[in-house]
Structure 1
Amino acid sequence: MDNSLSTLLSTLQESVSNAVLPTETSILPPQNGISLLDLKNELFLSYLQNLVFLILLKLRHVTGSGKDSAKSQELNEEATKKLVELRLFLEKGVKPLEGRLAYQINKVVKAADDTAAASAIANTRPKLGKPKKADAFEDSGSEDGTSSDASEHVDELSYRPNPAALLRPSSESAKTGRSSEPSDAIYRPPRITATAMPTSGPKKERKERTMKSQTMEEFVRQEMSTAPLAEPSIGSTIVAGGRRVKGDRERADEAERAEYEEKMLTRLAPLTKKEKAKRGQNERSSGYGGEEWRDLGAGLDRIENLTKRKGGGQLDKSRKRKIDVADGPRDSGAMGNGMGNDFAKRKRTVMKRFR
């Protein structure tokens, strides 16, 4: 009895050890390659395993007393590297392949759904007795059956994946595609997505857009920011006898102009009349109270425009009203109040031009 038990234990140990060791056939890759779905599932499973292992290491590090910190740190780094590697495989490997094979997969899934729906409809319909047919009809039916079998065979082949879709188009194929277009010397506009043209012009948008406050921008930049700033020397920003102060934008423009002149060893052209007028307008708006007075004046102008009557009041209408000659003399001479007076006025204006 002892000999039989020992032999059984030895054989069991040998069989278990042989079962644990991998065989050569399992190590070799499969004959038809690895399925994309199997690869995706394996990657997800491995990702979850490494993620759980990393969480377990974090929990042990928190609850433990700090022993074996070097070993736990090494395991933590290995798990993190493995997670990054698996995430890279999923993002750069599996996802693009799914995008390229999505068309073929959708075709096969749709065909399977259509077949299942057709079979379900056929089962729900009541079965009717088929009438007997003649031999000629039977022959034609056999021919129809062969043609339907051929069409089924063609449909099955149409669902196969297209390997050419996985390759990038070469330059030669692009050239041939361009040359295939009709070259009849007629301009054809490019086919683009139809878009609605803007209804309001840039002038209206510029008018409706509120002006930015330079004082507020400088305050936010100086007081709210923690970055170091280069402050100008005392008194260098005071101009026009203290009535105006240079802003950051004006000092930046002057510094850029001076830097360009020093670098290129040349003098830039003086400001044009338009630029001088614009600068004078900005100086007037920033002087005598600054932007606060400008905003106050803009508010008053806006209130005046809103409350102003378009046609004017009765007083303006009475001033613009012409002399009513309904009850006066109706002579047409030069001294009258009618048409002769207007003619004499026009005559004097024309004679002044020729003098």
Structure 2
Amino acid sequence: MRPFDYYRSNDPADAVEAASEKGALFIAGGTNLLDLMKLDLMTPNRLIDINRIGLDEITPSDDGGLFIGTLVTNSDCAADMRIRQDYEVLSRAILAGASGQLRNKATTGGNLCQRTRCYYFYDPDMPCNKRKPGSGCSAVGGANRIHAILGASDECIATYPGDMAVAMAALDAQVVIEGQGGDIRTVPVRDFHRLPGDQPDKDNILRPGELITHVTLPPPARGRHIYRKVRDRASYAFALVSIAAVVEMDAGKIASASLAFGGLAHKPWHDPEIDDLLIGEAPSDALFDKAADILLADANGQGGNDFKIPLARRTLKAVLREATGERS
């Protein structure tokens, strides 16, 4: 780990100002950042400790939704009774991630900003465009079992590893961001993370020095909330395929549907065509196959991860059967 300056901030505006220096990064729980620093994969010259700036509570919003402060821990978010009752898919997704010890430290903002777990990204001796732009992508033609089948590019086929953001995408949550001079902007979670394109080193839309202050959840969505995570082992493993689904039934037909997918792309994947296809229809295997056709229309395996394509189809059908009460 390389030397760095340490600064403890006491309020959001001060933290943003302190982070204006080139090479400065925020730190809260540090569950991902510290690992990356130890391996010299991230080398900030200054760390801004934001643990004392507030923003560690879940509060109601005027429209009946919730504000989740950026420093709310994953454990506290998943255990909050309002989250458990009204946003069950979010609680389920968080509890499917990491371990209890990590959830006790990991924060909402930090979870959104976590970096890929691509083997080659973590190996400084291997070419990686995400770590060193222009060096190449070793996963293309290499070991790529966990890698993307959607939205990838020749520059990068890594996946976003998180669970929480997948559920937030299904809920259509918003990320509130504070920048220099008190500038505030709000971005849908669905647009917060980027596809790799020709700039795979940029994981999300944050500008240098910007701070996530809150995530806003809309008023509770009616219907059944499901989070299914397919992985190599039952705990402490990242998703091969995950699906967050909020589906409401009315008189035997799908009244509303919102689905998001993890483990398939460089970001939580949401395709509004799938939701539009399902709404107003009676559940059936034929309908679910059409939804899978839309999801996988542009899917592209890399050899080692070809199995993800049929796995995603089977998982989507299973989730929709559970959400709608349809039996195969």
Q: Which has the larger radius of gyration?
A: 1
Pair in the same fold by TM > 0.5? no
TM-score normalised per structure 1: 0.16
Which one has the bigger strand percentage?
2
Which one has the bigger helix percentage?
1
TM-score normalised per structure 2: 0.17
Q: Which structure would you say has the larger RCO, counting Cα contacts within 8 Å and 6 or more residues apart?
A: 2
